[in-house]
Structure 1
Amino acid sequence: MRARDTPCFVCGVTATPTPDELNLRSILRPVPHLERHPAQHFLLIIIGAALALGALVGIAWAAGFHQVYELMSDVDGVWLPGALFFEIAAYAGYIVAYRELVRVEGGPSLGIGRAGAIVAAGFGVFVIRGGFMVDRHALEDAGIPERQARIRVLGLGALEYAVLAPAVAVAAMVIVARGQTHPSFGFTLPWAIAVPLGFGAAIIALAYRERLHGHTGWRNVLAHALEALYVLRRLAAQPREYAGAFLGTGLYWLGDIACLWACLRTFHSQPDLAAMLIGYATGYALTRRTLPLGGAGTVEAFVSFALAWAGVPLANAVLAVCAYRFFNLWLPLLPAVIGLRHLKRWRSQVASNTTR
């Protein structure tokens, strides 16, 4: 491709971009995740690291650097291997749930390796539009039509909340029944009231699913959301066939929450489990697979403050979240990179097969 000359409006001289300028432009040019240059992925990783570090430093400042430093000098490292084990279990559970959801309603049966590659890449810190975009493209490459791929991705998000939200609602009811002040009613009552109402509203809305077919605009968006809920209902209607979807999602949440709990114990914090569950879920108002860059920066801030509101000292919370994010974001970076390479290879194979 021939470099285009760039006119200078001050002196009237036409300047030809240097090779370095062209390389920089190609790196900064926004492209889909499977078409990016490795340098673009590296740049996104650096941005994610800067956001995470900035959030952690800011929270440490709010907690008091001296207090944070004192806690850092007294670490109970016996809990860290457990945190690693719990996070591995969480990823394994997500892979199981992913495979089950994809094959519902006659979808393809993904192998463990392919499902693992998709899951790992979708959690990568280099994914700027969230892991669900990785899921959608990967499912399309697996032969699922675009609309069905989008519905399954939305169904995956619904499945995550369908498993987590009832557990948090029960925890909120327990805390309200105890009369505890941490977390406050501002955190517990929304979970205790809104979750049952939300499930009831979803059941009622499903009755209007077919009426929204063929529409455009906001009705089309609502139709996709209802189709995702219908996929969830199909999973629940055949528990013997698709039990792995709910069990896998449950293992994912249990493993991830247990990882955070182990990190809290590492820094000598032993929170009430019901309160910690509410803090965790409040901090994840959006799951990290929906957030850009794996939630870098946002998860560190939201979860740290949510744990503090749940009764964990902020200094303990920020250090625990720092360790937790090492296990659930930065340590899985290598599998995410490997998974992305496999997705690119499969995309190339699909493209070569369609051109024959």
Structure 2
Amino acid sequence: MLPDEPGNAAARLRGGGVEVVVMPLHRLRATTRPSDHLGLLAALRPEVGGLRRLIRRREIDVVQAHGPTNPQAALAGRLEGRGVVWQLYDTRTPMVLRRATMPAVVALADVVMSWGVAVARAHPGTGRLGRRLVPIFPPLDLSQYRDGSERRIRARSGLGARDGDMVIGTVANLNPQKGHEYLLRAVAWLREREPRAVLRVLGASSPSHPRYEETLREEAARLDLKPPVLEIIDPADRVPALLPGLDVFALASVPRSEGMPTAILEAMASSLPVVATDVGSVTELVEHGQTGLVVAPEDPSAMGAALLCLLDDEDERLRMGARARRRAVERYDLDDLAELHLRAYEAAINRRGGRR
């Protein structure tokens, strides 16, 4: 079940054979407008009622809710006596809303799954969950990601890289939380010291932030980052094929944004060293000095210096990339993640059954 709003992934899920039900749902917003909150309160009862009918009609055993500001599914599941699993997947929700909503999460959820331990710690009350807290990681089929000279040649061609270019790349939709403007400034700083550095931004425009791409292009022009130094490419389904063409992967996400970015795991699986900002659970993926470098967010010179460090040392770059690949294979297997979900759902059903 998905809310009726832009970017809700309904088409993508249906394309993968998943049955999808779309219905209007309100959510808490970080706003002081009383009308927004009154709208949620007025709609809460009918929306929960609609979900309860859906649960009964489809004979659903477990309800999974996403994010602390979306309580309707958990309320419906609890009222119907079903297992409730609540997932915390990032840190975008303002702290004032986390403090307001987390008591309900702790009370209603049989199991809370979080994208990494740091994301859980960023939500008040999770320390009281004990075994009800299950840290997880992004779902990724590692078999799609490989390196190798032939794949690298094809990937660099697809990226428009020239002989001698040192290619920095990021995979992230054009959304302010990804901090692309800070990465542009970092690369501008870097090119003053390493003119062979070029940047490839692999990301589609965001329906919820239609002006952001234009803002980025204006910033790139101000920094004199023009093609072929900078290319913004919508990769569609080509991310596994394009990543081997990079020399370093970078992600400049801002504070109060990420959980465990899937893009970092994709880069690690592609044997790339990672330079990323210290937000969310990023440091649980990137081991500083071993599989990449972690820098403060919103600091272009720090990110630029980290990128320069890796571009200047090919041997260390390759060693970090190899370690990253090993870490991805050893710790983030898709079958292991499926098993974590299965155990969480079974625990939720058993815990709920014990109350009947």
TM over 0.5: no
Higher strand share: 2
Q: Per chain length, whose mean CA-contact separation is higher, i.e. which structure has more relative contact order (CA < 8 Å, sep 6+)?
A: 1
- Flag the structure with larger Rg: 1
TM norm structure 1: 0.28
Higher helix share: 1
